[in-house]
Structure 1
Amino acid sequence: MSPELAFILTLGLRMAITAAFVVTASIITERSGPVIGALIATLPISAGPSYVFLALDHDAAFIAEGALASLPINAATIFLGLTYVVLAQRHGALLSCLAAVAVWLVLAAIIRSVQWSLAGGLVVNAIAFGICVPLLARYRHAKMPPIRRRWYDIPLRASLVATLVATVVTTSGWVGPKISGMIALFPIVFTSMMLILHPRIGGPPTAAVLANSAWGLIGLGIAIAVLHVAALQFGSTVGLTLALATCIGWNLSLWWLGRGKAAE
């Protein structure tokens, strides 16, 4: 088998695995309501596979540096969420989504121009979430109407996430860890939810899922910081494992606390 064919087959397999994972998680999200859906949506269901595949092709230092670049991008994602949530109350899916993505791209361009440290990334996350979480609180509760799946839902989600993985994997060698880390954290799950759910169930219910995602994104930011530190100290495998455990543990804790409050 030629090296070119082996690369194409390997890339196709990676895209298929990731697409299947994201589609499954997003279907569960639709059926679980805005709170549980938000917890599932903020698991690393697109960034995680991207980092796993990067780890197969690059060393631990590359992964650690990529995670350092991803950390401030997590702060940009919460502003994407806030932009969409506010606009979705009165505007359509396309306008709300495009405006949110535009905000993310502008912030990503600013973030790229800065040389970040771990402390700097954590501080910018703390500031971003300190601003956005209180503003999102009023939009967290909305009735989730029944969802009827359309024929293009799964192909759309699969193609979006597969394209993201292909971009990360194929460009990582020449764009370097910083850009790879930024691309890996592009909010593909959020944008696909905006485009698919909003036209079907309306802006406020879709916005409620993203508004509830704020606390989950905090856990994702902590997991990215863990990945950076652990990859440097113990290697990529341990770093990725600890980061995933951090994300899952954080979201399970949020779920448990939510159950406790509902029972009171």
Structure 2
Amino acid sequence: MSPDLSLIFVLGLRMAVAAAFVVSASIIAERSGPVIGALVATLPISAGPSYVFLALDHDAAFIAEGALASLPVNAATLFLALTYVLLAQRHGLLLSLVSALAVWFLLAAGLRALDLSLVGGLIANVVAFAICVPLMQRYGHVKMPLITRRWYDIPFRASLVAVLVAAVVTLSGRVGPAITGILALFPVVFTSLMLILHPRIGGPATAAVIANGGWGLMGFGVAIAVLHVAALRFGSAVGLSLALATCVGWNLALWWNGRRKVAVAK
């Protein structure tokens, strides 16, 4: 196999693996209700594969710097979620989604221009969490209606993720770790859920899934910080493993706490 064909094959394999992760997670989100769906949606099922593939091509310093750039972008995702949740209560998909993405791009670009340190990125996440989560909390208690899957759902979601992975992997060697870190955290899962669910179950029900993701995004921010620190000290493999463990552990703790509250209420 020629070098060019080999590169195309490897890129296609990476796109397929990442797409399979996100499609599986989004199906679970649809079938499990807004709370479980949000916990699944805030796992690193999009950014995770992107970073794993980047680690195969770049050293630990690149991964650590990319994670540092990703950290404030997670704060922008919280405001994307808040914008969508508020607008989706009364408006259609187009206005809600476009407005939310506009907020994300503006905040991501603005925070990137500030060139925040690790402490600055953590502060940005704490501020975003303190503002967004209380405002979204009242919209998280909506029963998910029965969803009938359409033929184009899975190909559409897979295409979204595949395009992101291709962009991140292809551009990483040209734009540097900072821009790569921003691209890796583009909210593919949230965007996919909005595009697929909003026309079929309505804005409020879709917004409930997004609203319940606030606490999960906070844990995701902690995981990104762990990746930055651990990759510098122990290498990319250990850093990625610890970041994944942080994310999964955080969401499992949220799930257990939710079940405990239900049991106490009974």
1:161 Cα deviation after fit: 0.3
Q: Secondary structure at the match of 1:113?
A: helix
Distance in 1 between the 2:122 and 2:176 partners? 22
Distance in 1 between the 2:176 and 2:140 partners? 38
Matched, 1:94 2:90: no
Distance in 2 between the 1:227 and 1:15 partners? 22
CA RMSD after TM alignment:
0.5
1:58 is aligned with what amino acid?
H
Residues 3-42 of structure 1 correspond to what in structure 2 (within 5 A)?
A: 3-42=3-42
Distance in 1 between the 2:256 and 2:155 partners? 34
1:114 Cα deviation after fit: 1.4
Give the TM-score taking structure 1 as reference length.
0.99
Give the TM-score taking structure 2 as reference length.
0.99
Moved over 2 A (4+): none
Distance in 2 between the 1:149 and 1:169 partners? 31
1:2 Cα deviation after fit: 1.6
Q: Which residue of 2 aligns with 1:200?
A: 200
Matched, 1:134 2:134: yes
Distance in 1 between the 2:116 and 2:3 partners? 37
Q: Secondary structure at the match of 1:91?
A: coil
Q: Secondary structure at the match of 1:139?
A: coil
Matched, 1:164 2:164: yes
Matched, 1:215 2:215: yes
Distance in 1 between the 2:232 and 2:68 partners? 11
Unpaired segments of 5 or more residues in structure 2?
none
Alignment coverage as a number of residue pairs? 264
Residues 52-98 of structure 1, C-alpha deviation per residue, up to 9 Å, x if partnerless?
00000000000000000000000000000000000000011121111
Residues 117-156 of structure 1 correspond to what in structure 2 (within 5 A)?
A: 117-156=117-156
Distance in 1 between the 2:160 and 2:154 partners? 10
Q: Which residue of 2 aligns with 1:103?
A: 103
Distance in 2 between the 1:18 and 1:126 partners? 29
Distance in 2 between the 1:234 and 1:188 partners? 29
Q: Which residue of 2 aligns with 1:59?
A: 59
1:212 is aligned with what amino acid?
N
1:112 Cα deviation after fit: 1.8
1:84 is aligned with what amino acid?
Y
Distance in 2 between the 1:97 and 1:12 partners? 28
Residues 127-183 of structure 1, C-alpha deviation per residue, up to 9 Å, x if partnerless?
010111110111010011000001110011000000000000000001000000000
Q: Which residue of 1 aligns with 2:2?
A: 2
1:20 Cα deviation after fit: 0.8
1:198 is aligned with what amino acid?
H
Q: Which residue of 2 aligns with 1:227?
A: 227
Q: Which residue of 2 aligns with 1:182?
A: 182
Distance in 2 between the 1:83 and 1:114 partners? 22
Q: Which residue of 2 aligns with 1:83?
A: 83
1:115 Cα deviation after fit: 1.4
2:47 is aligned with what amino acid?
A
Deviates more, 1:87-96 or 1:219-228: 87-96
1:50 Cα deviation after fit: 0.2
1:176 is aligned with what amino acid?
G
1:3 Cα deviation after fit: 1.3
1:31 is aligned with what amino acid?
R
Distance in 2 between the 1:107 and 1:52 partners? 26
